[in-house]
């Protein structure tokens, strides 16, 4: 069983190796306001960022803010976001979230985890994405890539995203949390893919316990 100290040392080395290799953008989602990022992140569940960006390019011209989403007929909104998949649930979440923002926050996106996760359709992953990108609040975004890589790299035995988040927080200082999760996301997309990891081109292969499996 690897000690926490050893895991921390390995995490630091992985961070140092991956940091210069990937973009410093905090998200690949395109947005111009905190609310747009919130909507985009809700839409990104089980959907590629590229597809979300294609949809929101049109969506945000039609709906300028939460008030417009509240007024929109649910069937119309469903059609507008249909290409992102799970469009019925996403439409419900976006409308309910927009309603809560209008009623409780004067249409503004709050800047704390406690407030964000009380919004319909917003979990810790979405909240951390918005907090880190917009408000520079330290946090680890646990998406499917982070979940997969955290397990492969031997940093967690958990499957619950909230528990994985806590496990990863122990490895690096707060100021590296967001960047570390971003690096795992970008590396997961480019190299450490779900079905077939590209071991031959992985710069952290020597630090990965999965190479022995």
State the catalytic residue, choosing from 7, 125, 167, 182: 125
Task: Determine the Cα–Cα distance for residues 68 and 163; give it in Å rounded to an integer.
Answer: 36
Q: Is 68 a catalytic residue?
A: no
Q: Is 136 a catalytic residue?
A: no
State the catalytic residue, choosing from 80, 143, 167, 182: 143
Task: Determine the Cα–Cα distance for residues 84 and 70; give it in Å rounded to an integer.
Answer: 20
Task: Determine the Cα–Cα distance for residues 112 and 40; give it in Å rounded to an integer.
Answer: 18
Residues labelled catalytic: 125, 143
């Amino acid at each position: 069983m690897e000690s926490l100290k050893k895991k921390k040392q390995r995490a630091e080395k992985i961070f140092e190796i991956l940091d210069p290799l990937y973009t410093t953008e905090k998200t690949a989602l395109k947005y111009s306001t905190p609310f747009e990022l919130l909507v985009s992140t809700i839409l990104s569940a089980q959907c590629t960022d590229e597809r979300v960006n294609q949809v929101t390019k049109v969506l945000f011209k039609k709906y300028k803010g939460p008030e417009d989403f509240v007024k929109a007929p649910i069937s119309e909104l469903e059609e507008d976001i249909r290409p992102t998949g799970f469009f019925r649930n996403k439409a419900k979440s976006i409308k309910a979230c927009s309603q809560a923002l209008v009623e409780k926050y004067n249409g503004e996106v709050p800047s704390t985890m406690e407030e964000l996760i009380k919004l319909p359709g917003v979990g810790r992953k979405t909240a951390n994405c918005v907090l880190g990108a917009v408000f520079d609040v330290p946090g680890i975004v646990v998406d499917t890539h982070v979940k997969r890589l955290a397990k492969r790299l031997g940093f967690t035995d958990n499957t619950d995203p909230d528990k994985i988040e806590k496990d990863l927080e122990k490895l690096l200082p707060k100021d590296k949390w967001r960047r570390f999760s971003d690096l795992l996301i970008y590396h997961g997309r480019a190299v450490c893919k779900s079905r077939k990891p590209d071991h031959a081109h992985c710069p952290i292969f020597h630090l990965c316990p999965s190479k022995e499996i």
